[in-house]
Amino acid sequence: MQTSAKTSRQLQNLHIHFDEIDLHAVTRAFNSTSFSGRSPIIADYEAVISAYFGSPHALACSNGTVAIELALRSLELKPGAAVAVPPTAPVMTILPVISLGLRPVFYDVRPDSFAPDLDDLRSLSAEGIAALITVPMWGYPWDMEAVAGFCSSNGIALIEDCAHAFGTEMNGRKFGTFGDIATFSTHERKLVSTGEGGFCITPHAHLHERMRTWQHHGALFDASGAYRVGERIGSNSKLAPLCAALGISQFARLDIKIASRRAVVARLREALKPCKTLVEFNRYPGSEINGYAMVFWFEGEDRGRSQLLAASGIQSDTVRYNYKPLYHAPAFARYARPCPNAEKLIGSIITLPCHEGLSENDICEIAAVVEDIYGRDYRRSVAS
């Protein structure tokens, strides 16, 4: 990671918060009867996940990319079946589609959110879209009911890639509970962190069963938990129980973490009010973000400002990701399809950190640096 003299690690958007409770949870896990992916700790973790989302079935797995792969496999789509993905997603969303021999079809997002543009989806009807993946970037909520309604009335399976959207809600209902399957990542940057890890939730018992079979070497389970292998194909993508133990203690703190981040969000919003050239990104009316990061629209072209911001110690995720429409990356260019809203959106936003590790001083410093680069500097460069 590039740093400059001004960089304080605090201002970066990576904030890993492990404490004594996490440490004890992992230490206690050494007393478990098993260290493998069949440890009872895994079932405990899955019960915690189910309870948090109010979702009947949860499956822990080794990472969030594999979670998407398991979700797609469970749908048992025909080879080459069309799976709709947004160009605003990171590579992790599209890679499993391609590696499973399915065909990614890019859909445009709405001009004012990361939600699928339903008119654009309607225009894709000749493609025979079998499944659609939504990706609420940086945890900003949109009208998910409309998207779920569209999918169910058109016979399209809905997968929510909620890696950024722990605790994101619309009308009091959590993102991850609208689709047929939702996938999450617990990579170190995510709101629940186990280093590496992921999980799927689903209301459908048969999809859960298929995912579990695939990730357990093709095992078929009976009601007692006994299993037999050799009748189905599968692989191994089980989560290690030490990570699951960490996941349990992280989930216990998730709501507090989100509340702390929301307090920082409120402060940063306030501190950035004088900067009229930045406007916060749209979220579903009446809903609050989960504090994964804050997203802002800036006026005009970037003109190197996001790089300047990074050089001042505040790295926007758009810089870290080298954020561009997925189909501009060489590996996905053959699937390119113009998505003008997505292109415009990607070129008009930055993200700012709002994690619970930021002090009042940090917040003031972020606001001052941002005002310097996106306020006065911008006006000066426009005037010249």
Ligand X SMILES: *Cc1c(COP(=O)(O)O)cnc(C)c1O
Positions that interact with ligand X (CB under 6 A): 63-65, 89-90, 92-93, 135, 161, 163-164, 185, 187, 198
| Residue 170 CB, nearest approach to ligand X (Å) | 18
| Residue 92 CB, nearest approach to ligand X (Å) | 4
| Residue 273 CB, nearest approach to ligand X (Å) | 29
How far is the CA of 152 from the CAs of 29, 44, 127, 146, in angstroms? 42, 32, 17, 10
Token pair in block for residue 117: 């543009």
Specify the residue, 39 or 93, whose C-beta has the smaller distance to ligand X. Answer: 93
Rounded to the nearest 10°, the torsion over CA 78, 76, 134, 124 is 20
DSSP 3-state helix, strand, coil percentages of the chain (rounded to 5)?
A: 40, 15, 45
| Phi, psi for 202 (deg, rounded to 5) | -155, 145
| Residue 166 CB, nearest approach to ligand X (Å) | 11
| Phi, psi for 23 (deg, rounded to 5) | -60, -45
How many Å from the N-terminal Cα to the C-terminal Cα in the chain?
33
Closest-CB residue for ligand X? 64
Burial of 302: CB neighbours in 10 Å, binned 0-12, 13-18, 19+: middle
Token pair in block for residue 112: 């004012």
The pairing of beta strand 82-85 with beta strand 129-134: parallel
| Residue 198 CB, nearest approach to ligand X (Å) | 5
| Residue 78 CB, nearest approach to ligand X (Å) | 24
The candidate with the shortest Cα–Cα distance to 192, out of 131, 145, 254, is 254
Specify the residue, 162 or 350, whose C-beta has the smaller distance to ligand X. Answer: 162
Specify the residue, 64 or 325, whose C-beta has the smaller distance to ligand X. Answer: 64
Give the relative orientation of helices 91-99 and 64-74 as an angle to the nearest 10 degrees.
Answer: 40
Specify the residue, 52 or 199, whose C-beta has the smaller distance to ligand X. Answer: 199
Please give the DSSP secondary-structure letter assigned to residue 116. Answer: B
Secondary structure (3-state) at 325? coil
Specify the residue, 185 or 315, whose C-beta has the smaller distance to ligand X. Answer: 185
Specify the residue, 65 or 318, whose C-beta has the smaller distance to ligand X. Answer: 65
| Residue 140 CB, nearest approach to ligand X (Å) | 12
Specify the residue, 193 or 312, whose C-beta has the smaller distance to ligand X. Answer: 193
| Residue 199 CB, nearest approach to ligand X (Å) | 10
Pairwise CA distance, residues 193 & 262, whole Å: 18
Specify the residue, 65 or 277, whose C-beta has the smaller distance to ligand X. Answer: 65
Tokens 């006026």 found at? 299
Amino acid at site 358? L
